[in-house]
Structure 1
Amino acid sequence: MSLGGDWDPGSVTGFDDDVRAEGEPEREFHAGVAARLPRKSVSGGALVRDTAGLVLLLRPTYKPTLEIPGGVAEAGESPLAACRREVKEELGLALPIGRALVVDWIPVHGPWPDQLAFVFDGGVLDAATVARMVPDPVEVAGVEFLTLAAATDRLRPSMARRLAAAVVAAEAGETVYAEFGRPV
């Protein structure tokens, strides 16, 4: 069985059967060990471009730096499902989110736990699709299509590195593993 770039466990017939086939979770050898394991947050964002190759960036209402569409996964939600949900919420579009471009580990930073940030291919939007975009006014103050060079001083440095890796991965047909935006 091939698990190509279009594989989505939520849309594959039999996914629930696969989960049931795993059987009961193994019992803890020592009670309470599972509760003491560290927790990471997981996010899914989309690299979305226009026909000129410019990157879609959001001006969030809740932070000073630009972001890509996407967000943190809810409990029990995959990074891909989180990306699709957040893109629809933030842009008002159900985009065909494609393969993973970057998996990036982000270290603990202030009050924020470490995180695995996935960047998926959000595709290329034509002018008609851009015109149908309805940004969520609660979360999105505006959207811009920019080159990464033009956006660098408005992005966190790690996001600028992550997006640069995502653009390279999209062009090369690869998936990149990075740590704090630096491909390893």
Structure 2
Amino acid sequence: MASQEIIFAGFGGQGILSMGKFLAYAGMDANMNVSWLPSYGPEMRGGTANCSVILTDDQVGSPIVTAPDTVVVMNRPSLDKFEKGIKANGLLILDSDLVTREPERTDLEVIKIPAQTVATELGNKTIANMVLLGALVAKTNIVSMDVLLEALRAHGKEKFFEINKKALEKGAEYVR
């Protein structure tokens, strides 16, 4: 049975909600039961933003994720907020360019990716979120990369498809 409860978190404007949304669309395309629940502070851009995504073959009982299998963080305040709640032996994926401390827990699998640097090298700093999403999908196999790319093509902006695809592939390379 495939199932993942995931929290994506960072500053508003980093594409946190988009990351979750594209994964949720991919889950729907893979015939899974899906929940996507956004949450953001009143500041929006610059404030904190997070979203909870559940992908499962079972029923989704509640869209609220309290003990995620996986957390993807793009800033230190998000690590501070969500690290404690991750399930034992869970997965933590972080942007090592922006998260300025080491995780405290030793029972997690931690994948550190300099996502800002990678995105800048690809030519667009705003796709750092897609680098991290690529790593998540490659590591968990919750959906296939092909299904994720189809969701991106169907629900994203066509003009960003190629660069987002490169970012996803680059992120996947970090976990292979």
TM-score in terms of structure 2 length: 0.30
Structure with the largest fraction of helix: 2
TM-score in terms of structure 1 length: 0.29
Greater relative CO, 1 or 2 (CA 8 Å, sep 6+):
1
Please identify the structure whose Cα radius of gyration is greater. Answer: 1
Structure with the largest fraction of strand: 1
